[in-house]
Structure 1
Amino acid sequence: MKGLVTWISSALLLAVANYAMAQTTLGSLSANAQSLATLSLEWMDKDWDGSGFLKRETLDFPPGVHEVRQTAFYAVGLMLRNQGNDTARAVQAVNAILTQQYNVTGAVYDEGPTPTGTVEYSSYDPNWREFIGTTLILQLENWSGRYNATEIANIEAALQLAALGSYNRAATSIPPSYSNIAIMRAFMLDYVGRNYNNPTYVSYATSFAQQIYSLFSYNGDNTLYEYNSPTYTGVDFYGLSLWINYSQNRVLNNLGKQIINALWNDLAAFYHAGLKNIAGPYDRAYGIDMTQYIAIDAQWIWLAAGQQHAPLPDLNSTVWQTTVSGHPGDWGFAPLVAAVSPGASIPSNIVPLFQSFGSYCRELKRYIGPGNGTNPRVDTVWMSATQTIGGQKVNESTTRDPTQYYPAVVQWQIPGQVAIGHLTLTPTTGVITAVASEKRLSVSYPKPYGNGKDVFKFIVYANGAAVTQNKGVYTLPGQTFTISTAAGAPNITANANGSYNVVYTWPATNTAIPSLTLTLN
């Protein structure tokens, strides 16, 4: 059943741990953290299903199916708020979550049979071990006094199952380059190892954390491999805050502080406060305009600079709540951001960058280290008061997922509109050289692979306006640009969401490197 968490293992260790009993409360957090968690909780409150003790998912599921992972997030928020029957509801939710854990004796999901009728990443997601496991640690460390002895024992048993399942995953399934899951995994394994007498986990987690840092510090550029993601960088912040706030491992403490400081500075540098968006390119993104969908990075910007500066859709609108593209489920992550916020280590000097873009253009260049068998990549970005251009140089043997990977992005302000205009390059090959410079994006395929090597496919959106061109000149609301190429005239077609496909096909008779230049006018 979609929505089940997979914590598959072959053994169970039982132990009694001593918890910090920190009793983190909503009132002990910053005003920004309080408002963030409160509004998210009020949104989830209305979907509580008292008969099943689980938060009901309102999108993408048939009636009667529950969202297990988001219930775990909700339970953390309930314990934080602790008003009325919040604690009783949180305990019920956690107890219900634990009943959904897979426990198949002698079977690990990638080495043996999975539970009958299940399909990985369809009927279950192995990464939920880390997502839900870390929330259970927050429950134990902060609010264990609100559970009885049996409930504590059940949580501990579930954590150890989750850790064993995570530890047994193949190295290719969860390498250090899988940044957001890898960071949570290192924390969970170290925590379980220390609290339940498993030095193997502690040793592995320490080494794994060092591998994450080694990849991060490649070329001295301090970039996580899963780079510049409006959603998953937000999960990185969460995991690193756990390293800093809750780990007893000094290696994780120290490395976490170094990585999170670099993440904050990068987020501020790439963020355009005027457009309320992070400049591309994006390794993984669920949208191009953060004012139209829920991105977890926006919750960290809220934490740093306040709700008025956070790049989010209108929270009172039903549009993002009733469309899959709005990613409403990620609004449920906000209580976790609030809960770990004391370890967020926000540099005070970057907060103004979340409030105002300023009057100077920015040029950025980042190297992203090789990981999981891939070559290093190079990101370049140019930003003005009303525009951003971003491109990535990548050389890989396979084409990345075009639904999440955006190797070239142009964004601009549309006068009088909250929504921005944008242009993105759809990857059709694994070898792309996209370079941003002042008012210019250059794209070429120097050593192409596969059938898509001769195609430049752009998706252009300008608040629903028709996209047309005249001798390579595109005049759109808020922006005019010129595309120069030997590919000839483009094929332009409309999409149902108001965007347009603009496709240039390189002539088969032209033996030069396929190339194209976009210039903002």
Structure 2
Amino acid sequence: MRPERLTPHARDLTTRSLDWMDQQWDPEVGLLRAPEEPGGGNAPTGHLVRETGWYAVGLLARNLPARDDAEADLERARRALTRVLDHQLDAPGERFHGTWLRSPHEPRPTAESVEWRDYDPNWREFIGTTLVVVANEFPEALAGDLGPRVEAALRLAVEGSLARGVGAHYTNIALMAAFLLEDAAVRLGEPSWEAPALRLAEQVLARFRVDGTFDEYNSPTYYGIDLYALALWRRYARRPLLRDGGAEMESVLWRDTARRYHAGLRNLAGPYDRSYGMDLRHYASGIGLWVWAAVGRDLAPFPETDRPFRHAWDLALGPVVAVLGAEVPDDALAHLRGFRGERQVDQVIVREPRRVASSWVGERLLVGAEDVAGERGNLADQFHPATVHWLVDGVSGASGSGAGGLGGDGADVGWIRLVSDLTVDARAEGPSLTLTCSRHDGGDLAFAFHVRVPEAGLDGGRTARDVVVDLPFADLTTERWALPGLEVTLDTDAELVAVEPDPADDTWWLRYVARDVPADSPVRFGIALRAE
């Protein structure tokens, strides 16, 4: 694939992501260096194996002389692919057979190794599908012994994937696994692999068709991987089940995403089953890359790539997104280009145990909530069951069909998220939230609201019980928060006990406690929101 075959937006995405990756390339090691994560956090270190495979796709799509030396992009891509292949694990009978090291700096796993901590089983699907993209789009890159090495690597990856037997509910990995098995059945002459591929594809499709959604709901990073996998189904799959089913799910996924998207705030309304951040403009996300490919950089929910940004390694996926191409239904595309009016969005995620997402998309305000029916759901730090975004200043581009970006000098987005170790059922209804915690062991129950108010902050470090925190930009009491651009009114039996700065960034914690609560007695927050 030559650059002229890419759309202008896809070409721009490829160029900018390659500009960034060229700076991360380590010619001595033959891999990309891991970028530093602003503010620290759980970031990869050393060098990156998976992302180097994505870099190779970008080099092949560009296929122009590299800017740092005389080495051609084709030669660098071949070296990058060779180094990726060097880090696959060939260990028949072991749980990690066929996957890859995440970095050459981590030790090779043993029988005692712990999945996710010591190795990532999903690198089979991520890197395996990347190799299929290379084989389909750039077969000339696999001349010589590289072609047989790629086929051998795909065989190991499929063997490990079959032994693992990922479930249909693990959406992004199941989608990639079904495609990888279906492709390898023909590519490697293993017809017996087709049956498990079609079975997994049927299970994912049937599960999706119940309510038109995936288990990993509204996940900005993993929706990007879902769209990647569905584009593989749509573009390369041999069987109609995957080709047609991929196109069907891709269209529905775009429409559901568009319902919750605000082009003016350049953010998705919550809730987020899995998210690595609260503001898409400040960290790299998969969905941000796909919106970029669809409507261009200026309208995309993505940080500036010429300065440090969080989760930066995910920018490496950009060339693969560009090569596969975004196919967005026209009605969804309109929402990506400009705000299309206030709306309430309700969605059943799964029926047993029942989970329901609700969102309000207003001109200056986004509200998101998830009801898990009192069941203890995903309580990891990626799960955000109650969220708020609001426009702090400026105008939102509500009426202009092409006005996707924030208007006005100094306009920015503030946000709030609920954080608690307790199970909380949340409901968004218009510009309001209702939070209910009804399954617990009693006693003093803690809830926290993590808040970002751009360029203002809150004056913390003091106890807030029975006291008004009176600041030029914010008044905080148990029942009322007056924040720049947002008034929050709370009806609750819990009390605000502390306002604390987060030492890692410009955010703050508003901590509430409900005292001496009998076991399983409901604790509620009624939260009314008014964006100004």
- Give yes or no for TM over 0.5: yes
Contact 1:429/1:453 (8 A) holds in 2:
no
State yes or no: 1:506 paired with 2:514: yes
Match of 1:40 in 2: 17
Deviations along 1:456-480, whole A, 9 cap, x unmatched? 3211111242164135111111111
Give the Å deviation of 1:376.
Answer: 2.4
Which of 79, 83, 100 is the equivalent residue of 2:87? 100
CA contact under 8 A between 1:458 and 1:501: conserved in structure 2?
A: yes
Residue among 60, 73, 88 paired with 1:86:
73
More off after superposition, 77-86 vs 413-422: 413-422
State the match for 1:4 in structure 2. none
Residue 129, structure 1, aligned to residue 124, structure 2? yes
> Are 1:479 and 2:486 matched, yes or no?
yes
Partners of 1:63 and 1:346 in 2: CA distance: 32
Aligned length: 478
Q: Deviations over 1:414-466 (max 9, x none)?
A: 11445411111114234x321101221000023x1467993332111112421
Equivalent in the alignment of 2:232: 242
Determine the structure 2 residue equivalent to 1:163.
Answer: 158
What CA distance in whole angstroms lies between the structure 1 residues aligned with 2:55 and 2:517?
A: 59
Query: Partner of 2:400 in structure 1?
Result: none
Shift of the 470–104 alpha-carbon distance from structure 1 to 2, 3 Å rule, reads: closer
Q: 1:86 offset after TM fit, Å? A: 0.5
Equivalent position to 2:268, from 252, 256, 278: 278
Aligned: 1:465 with 2:457: yes
Q: Quick one: distance in 1 between partners of 2:388 and 2:497?
A: 18
Match of 1:19 in 2: none
- State how far apart, in whole Å, the 2-side matches of 1:315 and 1:63 are: 18
Spell out, residue by residue over 1:291-344, the C-alpha distance to the aligned partner (whole angstroms, 9 max, x if none). Answer: 1111110111111111110011122223x1xxxxx1000111101101111xx4
Tell me, yes or no, if the aligned pair for 2:371 and 2:426 is still in contact at 8 Å. Answer: yes
The residue aligned with 1:423 is 416
Provide the rounded CA distance (Å) in 2 between the counterparts of 1:391 and 1:168. 37
CA distance in 2, matches of 1:243, 1:56: 31
Structure 1 residues 451, 77: CA separation in 2 closer, same or farther (over 3 Å shift)? farther
Q: CA 1:509–1:375 in 2, change beyond 3 Å: closer, same or farther?
A: closer
Farther-moved stretch of structure 1 (415-424 vs 135-144):
415-424
Question: What's the counterpart of residue 356 of structure 1?
Answer: 338
- Find 1:73's aligned residue among 28, 50, 54: 54
TM-score normalised by length of structure 2: 0.85
Q: Deviations over 1:202-248 (max 9, x none)?
A: 11111101111122122xx3011111011110110000000000110
- Superposed counterparts of 1:60-459, under 5 Å: 65-84=46-65, 85-109=72-96, 114-115=109-110, 118-169=113-164, 171=165, 174-218=166-210, 221-318=211-308, 320=309, 326-341=310-325, 344-358=326-340, 360-370=341-351, 375-395=353-373, 397-415=375-393, 416-430=409-423, 432-446=424-438, 448-449=439-440, 454-459=445-450
Letter in 2 for 1:422: W
Alignment CA distance shift 1:152-1:346 (3 Å): same
Contact 1:392 1:408 (8 Å CA) reproduced: yes
Normalization by structure 1: what TM-score?
0.87
Q: 8 Å contact 1:488–1:505 — kept in the other structure?
A: yes
Give distance in 2, aligned partners of 1:361 and 1:31. Answer: 31
Over 3 Å counting, the alpha-carbon distance change for 1:486 and 1:63 in structure 2 is closer
| Mapped partners of 2:319, 2:132: distance in 1 | 14
| C-alpha separation in 2, matches of 1:333 and 1:240 | 15
| 1:386 Cα deviation after fit | 0.4
Give the alignment partner of residue 495 of structure 1, picking from 502, 509, 526.
502
Greater displacement, 489-498 / 48-57: 489-498
Q: Distance in 2 between matches of 1:63 and 1:330?
A: 11
Superposition deviation, residue 351 in structure 1: 1.8
Q: What secondary structure does 1:290 align onto?
A: coil
Instruction: Tell whether the 8 Å contact from 1:75 to 1:94 is kept in structure 2 after alignment.
Output: yes
* CA distance in structure 2 between the partners assigned to 1:63 and 1:270 by the alignment: 31
2:465 maps to: none
User: Aligned partner of 2:480: which letter?
Assistant: V
Deviation at 1:382, TM superposition (A): 0.8
Please say if 1:52 is aligned against 2:29.
Answer: yes
* Cα distance in structure 2, aligned partners of 1:407 and 1:471: 21
SS at match of 1:441: strand
Q: Tell me which residue corresponds to 1:519.
A: 528
Q: 460-469 or 380-389, which moves further after superposition?
A: 460-469
Question: C-alpha separation between the residues in 2 aligned to 1:387 and 1:253?
Answer: 38
Gaps in structure 2 of 5+ consecutive residues:
66-71, 99-107, 394-408, 460-468, 470-475
Tell me which amino acid in the other structure corresponds to 2:89. Answer: Y
Q: Distance in 1 between matches of 2:370 and 2:518?
A: 25
Q: Indicate conservation of the 8 Å contact 1:291/1:419, yes or no.
A: no
| Residue 510 of structure 1, CA deviation | 6.0
Shift of 1:509: 5.0
**Cα RMSD after superposing both structures:** 2.3
Shift of 1:347: 1.0
Cα shift readout 1:34-82 (whole Å, capped 9, x = no counterpart):
1011100111011211122111213379999321011000001111111
Residue 462 of structure 2 corresponds to: none
User: Would the aligned equivalents of 1:393 and 1:433 in 2 still touch at CA under 8 Å?
Assistant: yes
CA contact (8 A) 1:32 1:303 kept: yes
Cα distance, 1:249 vs structure 2: 1.3
